[in-house]
Amino acid sequence: MNLQAFLITFREAMEAILIVGVILTYLKRIGETRWSKWVWVGVVLALVASYGVALLFQVALTGYESMSNQNYLRIGIMLASTALLTHMILFMTKQGRSHQLSVQTKVAAILTTGGILNMVIHSFLITLREGVETVFFFAAIGGGDIQSAMNNWGALLGLVTACVIGYLFFRGTKRISLKHYFRVTSVFLMLIAGGLLVQAVGIMQDIGIIGSAYRTAGGQIAEVYNIEWFMPEHPNDEAHYIRDTGHHPLINGQVGVFFKAFLGYTHNPSLEEFGVYWAYYFFVFLVLTRRKKPDTAASVSEGAEGPETVGNAPVQRQGA
């Protein structure tokens, strides 16, 4: 199972489910359930459109026949995905009272104008945005092969898990802490983003777009350290290590492949790969730390106003 595909699908699907759930619950509360079917029409159309986007994107990626063009495209997708994931981690995890009221205000405006088409378009765009982001992230983690990520059990399991949690939350049968959910998934998404970033740096160095400040006496890009003996990043590296040394690494290359795909692990990073990797985590940590104090004050203020509810389930406030 592709853990990256699971986490990305789970997170994106959950965000769409939460927003659509707020709309449906609001319609039920004000006695306007006749509009619910149009919300579902928009959701279904968005799912079909998202699959169409995936097919078109795959065709476009396949059109880059030369290896150099594919590398440039992979770099662009990885960097863009890193930026989108970082934005999601830092700015899109606060699904609190203000977000809920914003969604309800838009729905109320649509009901006032009485436009069925507007309701369909609203739910369509909400779901389509998450679907397109998922396609883009799949292109990044699959190295341009979107179908491999879509056909993986991880993607299906992520979607099913999101649906189950969303159902339990809005049914109110269980108390689901969305605050903890967003925190935990944000950590994993941060690890994925850092891995994509360092892989992009590695590809840029491999094809000569950027050099290195740390080189060997022969002018080659030097490695900061080499822990191939501990865990090679690929079975081929493991085979070469066994051939050259006569010893087996402590952890085999199959495990190394997983960590390389998930965390951007490399057993012999360049100075730039090492520096960018940890600088990225430091940047995210710094931003989250600076936001922690204002968020805490806001939570205390909201707590004084009373708990939030969506249907029968209390809405847990989230912080990054």
What confidence category does residue 139 fall into, taking pLDDT thresholds of 50, 70 and 90? confident
What confidence category does residue 7 fall into, taking pLDDT thresholds of 50, 70 and 90? confident
pLDDT top residue among 316 and 57:
57
Q: Is the pLDDT assigned to residue 104 strictly greater than 70?
A: no
pLDDT top residue among 254 and 144:
254
Q: Is the pLDDT assigned to residue 313 strictly greater than 60?
A: no
pLDDT top residue among 197 and 89:
197
Mean predicted confidence (pLDDT) in 125-129 = 81
Distances (CA, A) of 91 to 84, 86, 99: 10, 8, 12
What confidence category does residue 317 fall into, taking pLDDT thresholds of 50, 70 and 90? very low
Q: Is the pLDDT assigned to residue 242 strictly greater than 90?
A: yes
Query: What's the rounded Cα separation, in Å, for the pair 179 and 159?
Result: 19
Query: What's the rounded Cα separation, in Å, for the pair 35 and 121?
Result: 13
pLDDT top residue among 168 and 83:
83
pLDDT top residue among 113 and 266:
266
Instruction: Quote the mean pLDDT of the chain.
Output: 77
pLDDT score recorded for residue 318: 38
pLDDT score recorded for residue 287: 87
pLDDT score recorded for residue 115: 64
Q: Is the pLDDT assigned to residue 271 strictly greater than 80?
A: yes
- % of the chain surpassing 90 pLDDT: 12
What confidence category does residue 289 fall into, taking pLDDT thresholds of 50, 70 and 90? confident
pLDDT score recorded for residue 305: 46
pLDDT score recorded for residue 145: 72
Query: What's the rounded Cα separation, in Å, for the pair 253 and 257?
Result: 6
Q: Is the pLDDT assigned to residue 148 strictly greater than 80?
A: no
In this predicted model, what pLDDT tens digit does every residue of 176-232 receive, in sequence order? 566 676 677 778 888 888 988 998 999 899 888 898 998 888 888 899 999 999 999
Look-up: residue for tokens 């940890």? 278
Q: What is the pTM of this model?
A: 0.68
| Contact call for residues 183 and 177 (beta carbons, < 8 A) | no
Let me know the angle formed at the C-alpha of 87 by 11 and 277, rounded to the nearest 5 degrees: 95
pLDDT score recorded for residue 276: 94
Mean predicted confidence (pLDDT) in 32-49 = 85
Q: Is the pLDDT assigned to residue 70 strictly greater than 60?
A: yes
Number of neighbouring beta carbons within 10 Å of residue 151: 12
Distances (CA, A) of 104 to 18, 39, 318: 13, 13, 18
Residues with Cβ within 8 Å of 262's Cβ and at least 6 positions away in sequence, in order, are: 3, 4, 191, 192, 195
Q: Is the pLDDT assigned to residue 267 strictly greater than 80?
A: yes
pLDDT score recorded for residue 190: 87
